[in-house]
Chains A and B, each alone.
Chain A
Amino acid sequence: MKRLFILFLMLCPLWLSAQDDPKLTVSAKQQVVVGERFQVKFTANAEGKNFTAPSFTNFTVVGGPFTSTSSSVQMINGTVTSSTSVSYSYTLQAYQEGTFHIGSASLIVNGSKITSEPFDIKVLPDNGASAGASGGYTNGNAGQGQQSNNTNDPQVSGQDLFIRAIPSKKTVYLGEQLVLTYKIYTKVPVSSISIEKTPSYAGFWTKDITDNNGGVLRQSTEYINGEEYTSAEIQKIIIVPQRTGHFTIDPMTLECVAQIRSSSGRQQVFDPFGFFDDPFFNSNITNVKKELKSSSFGIEVNALPESGKPASFAGAVGNYDFKTDIDKTELSSDEAFTYTLTVTGTGNIELLQMPEPVFPTGFEVYDPKITTSINTSASGMSGTKKAEYLVIPRRAGKFDISAVEFSYFDPSAAAYRTITSDSYEIQVEQGSNSGGDGAYSSGQNDIQYLDKDIRHIMGGDPKLTSKNSFFFGTVPYIVALLVLLALFFILLLVLKKHEQLSKDTVANRNRKADKVAHGRLKRAYQHLKAKDQDRFYEEMSQALWGYIADKLGIERSKLSMDTVSEAMQSKNVPDELTQQFVDTLNSCEFARFAPGDAEEKMDDLYRRGIEVISKAEKVL
């Protein structure tokens, strides 16, 4: 209630002062270009309520309604006049070509409804046809010092001022960098440029390499279709695709203010003194805001070929050189050396992964220090990436640091390339500080097991046998056992036989010699009785020789006087007996081959024979 009262008090003087008929006027451009933003302003010369705007079909309401109220009180010669104006403004944007009708707006003032005049707006296509076309639009921002008020407002055409996106390539490989340049081309002076919207570059890694040049754009002159333009790079960006496929780069939107000299005004007036040529006076320049859009375009990102992809490939695309370096190759085990990997070249150097060197086991390796220095130029990124490993050997000996492979994809040749670095041999002396690992230190460490694996296959002769062929229980097995058994028995039998044989030959003969001799002597005695001399001597000789041969183990074939006497001597037979035996043998032989008829001789011999044999029997 209170508020309403205050409002009433505030509005009260206005009612009093309202003297003119309330009116609602409209001001707007009659001609606009597609895409152009313009203002439609409804102005009432009195306060009112319930403002109803017409429907702006075929236009986009960018802003509004913005309400502004202005009131002025004039006192002239005591007469007080006051005027009030209320304006409702809309910012519209045309998006369609054609002539469009805009209805009337209404406002209730003092209880009565006032309406504005309906009007038409002609929307022209966005091309040169609208160049120089003028409308009834009054630029509110460019109000200061503007002399040409509502006639012949200048326009900037799309041919005089435009922006272009220039990609260095439209078909690239995954990871291949491309440079995207946004350039503004203009024929008219441009006072300020601001980037409204940049594309999102989804699927790309980006790096802005715009040469800032201290905030001043580098300008150059270019000819397009024979026309001269002033061009400047707005933005330069390196984009590196991270995914494959077809990508559309959205347009970049730029807002700039073009300064256009208006065709009317003092400039055309001849000024002989040139006094008014001074820019301060000669301010017939219109600032026209213009939104610029680059056209969108597509980029085709191809996958890297799978064929021939080296194992060491880790995403480097471009053109590179690779080398390794070692700062010393002779050192002590507690000294550190630096192993450096360097990749130099053009390409996605910021994104590439450095290859990892393999050091001998037991070496203490610290995390590498990776430094990247990148130069950007119109052709893209180039530079050097370095990985420095600090390594302490900790062991004495001779070690090989194996070569490192670095692979990259060369997009220009569409092929993979592999560079193999040098390998190094380092000589490590035992350091003074190193504990427990060297050949001369006393402590021993447990063997360090690095990994486990199955043992390697067996080579050589597989010694294949047919399945389930067992030696045990087979015929050869039983035969082997039987053969052994048979051999055993054969051996026993053979030995037994041999024994018997030897018994027969030596011991038996020895044992039976006496018996045989006596048998013979008996037969000799019979011959003696029969006086058969020949038979007697033969029997005697046989008895004597046979006896001594059996007794002494002499073979019959080797029997002689000498062998008998020798054998008897070797058996320690007394010489007397030997002599007696040999004498008996001699006389027996003699009697055999020179027979006499002396009977006593035969008796004597017989007696002597028995005597020597019985004597020999006692000794042998």
Chain B
Amino acid sequence: MKERKTTMKRYTLLICMLLLLGSSFAQQEYDAWFTQANEAYSAGNYDTAVILYEKVVAADVESVSLYYNLGNAYFKKQEVPMSIYYYEKALKLDPSNEDVKHNLAFANQFIKDKSDPLPQSFIVRGWRNVRSMFSPDQWAWCSVVVFALLLAALFLFLRSRRIGLRKLGFFLGIAFLVVFVFSIIFAVQQKQSAMTQDQAIIMSPEVTVVSSPDKNSVALFLLHEGTKVTVLESSEGWRKIKIANGSVGWLPESSMRAF
């Protein structure tokens, strides 16, 4: 009985190792595709580059550089809506990436719709700016580090014999606690926005935004490819969307690509 258990254990171990090995093989393959795509891009073969990058994306892996490079390749192929889509995806993973921000702003010059964003309050803007400093994972790591610092400050407060150090520990501890709470809030919010596809890029050359999820309802306004919308609600092939200037309406799901 005991012997059987040990052999079973061995097999499980073996299978686990094989799985690990397999996943690392796949990873290497994706990296190879990525490298090939980069070479194709540098050589000006944007079609080939797009095909290879898309192959990596189809393998259900992602990274900032993958989305960014794919956006670049689409841009070079003069498919601006797709390039905007992938830049936005890259930005979602790393909201502070300068290259992505630059290229997204550049690509946005080529779209037809120009809607001025609604003015936001200072607090909301500040909140968003701070939140977009890090990606969800970075915020998570930040919370871990700040938690460590918080404990260190607490230790100082509890264990120091000198009154000055204890005071320092107390205030630092309060500061770190605040930062810890905020980083957790940011991480939660960012993770949620990354998990839910609450934004979309219009892919059809021109679509009519209607007042209700029904083809025959009143046409409100026109949107063109490349425009970013916020998805508010879904209903059987229809999406309730909101554009930057605050206008709201319904669009068929097929006319956009959510991210």
Chain B residues with Cβ below 8 Å from A477 are 140, 144
The secondary structure that dominates the A interface is: loop
Q: By the criterion CB–CB under 8 Å, are B30 and A464 in contact?
A: yes
Chain B residues with Cβ below 8 Å from A484 are 144, 147-148, 151
Within 8 A of B (CB), among A94-141: none
Shortest CB distance A313–B (Å): 20
Chain A residues with Cβ below 8 Å from B38 are 457, 459
Within 8 A of A (CB), among B125-152: 136-137, 139-141, 143-144, 147-148, 151
Number of A-B residue pairs having CB atoms within 8 Å of each other in the complex: 105
A458-500: contact bitstring with B at CB < 8 Å (1 yes, 0 no)? 1111111111101111000100110011011001100100000
A452 at interface, CB cutoff 8 A: yes
Q: By the criterion CB–CB under 8 Å, are B31 and A461 in contact?
A: yes
B66 at interface, CB cutoff 8 A: yes
* Bound Cα distance A468, B60 (Å): 9
* Bound Cα distance A463, B65 (Å): 8
Q: By the criterion CB–CB under 8 Å, are A464 and B27 in contact?
A: yes
* Bound Cα distance A495, B140 (Å): 30
Q: How large is the interface on A (under 10, 10 to 19, 20 to 34, 35 or more residues)?
A: 20 to 34
B201 at interface, CB cutoff 8 A: no
* Bound Cα distance A480, B145 (Å): 10
* Bound Cα distance A105, B12 (Å): 127
Tell me which of B34, B61, B141, B184 contacts A466 (CB under 8 A).
B61
Shortest CB distance A479–B (Å): 10
A454 at interface, CB cutoff 8 A: yes
Chain B residues with Cβ below 8 Å from A459 are 38, 65
B200 at interface, CB cutoff 8 A: no
Closest B residue to A458 using CB positions: B65
Within 8 A of A (CB), among B52-73: 56, 60-66, 68-69, 72-73
The secondary structure that dominates the B interface is: helix
Q: By the criterion CB–CB under 8 Å, are A456 and B72 in contact?
A: yes
Interface residues contributed by chain B, number (CB under 8 Å): 46
Q: By the criterion CB–CB under 8 Å, are B99 and A465 in contact?
A: no
Tell me which of B60, B107, B155 contacts A467 (CB under 8 A).
B60
Tell me which of A458, A472, A481, A495 contacts B137 (CB under 8 A).
A472
Shortest CB distance B24–A (Å): 12
Within 8 A of B (CB), among A490-514: 491-492, 495
Q: By the criterion CB–CB under 8 Å, are A458 and B141 in contact?
A: no
B182-220: contact bitstring with A at CB < 8 Å (1 yes, 0 no)? 001001100100110000000000000000000000000
Given A470-B136, A481-B144, does the pair A458, B158 have CB atoms closer than 8 Å?
no
Closest B residue to A454 using CB positions: B103
A558 at interface, CB cutoff 8 A: no
Q: By the criterion CB–CB under 8 Å, are A465 and B62 in contact?
A: yes
Shortest CB distance B74–A (Å): 10
Shortest CB distance A475–B (Å): 13
Tell me which of A458, A473, A488 contacts B69 (CB under 8 A).
A458
Given A471-B140, A471-B141, A481-B147, does the pair A462, B106 have CB atoms closer than 8 Å?
no
B7-48: contact bitstring with A at CB < 8 Å (1 yes, 0 no)? 000000000000000000001001100100010011000000
Chain A residues with Cβ below 8 Å from B170 are none
Chain B residues with Cβ below 8 Å from A488 are 151, 154-155
Chain A residues with Cβ below 8 Å from B106 are 452-454
Q: Which of A460, A472, A492 has the most CB of B within 10 A?
A: A472
Q: By the criterion CB–CB under 8 Å, are A457 and B72 in contact?
A: yes
Q: By the criterion CB–CB under 8 Å, are A472 and B187 in contact?
A: yes
Q: By the criterion CB–CB under 8 Å, are A470 and B140 in contact?
A: yes
20 pairs, CB–CB < 8 Å, chain A vs chain B = A452-B106, A454-B72, A454-B102, A457-B72, A462-B66, A464-B63, A465-B61, A467-B62, A470-B191, A471-B137, A472-B136, A472-B139, A472-B191, A480-B144, A481-B143, A484-B148, A484-B151, A485-B151, A488-B155, A492-B155
A interface, CB within 8 angstroms of B: 452-468, 470-473, 477, 480-481, 484-485, 487-488, 491-492, 495
B interface, CB within 8 angstroms of A: 27, 30-31, 34, 38, 41-42, 56, 60-66, 68-69, 72-73, 75-76, 99, 102-103, 106-107, 136-137, 139-141, 143-144, 147-148, 151, 154-155, 158-159, 184, 187-188, 191, 194-195
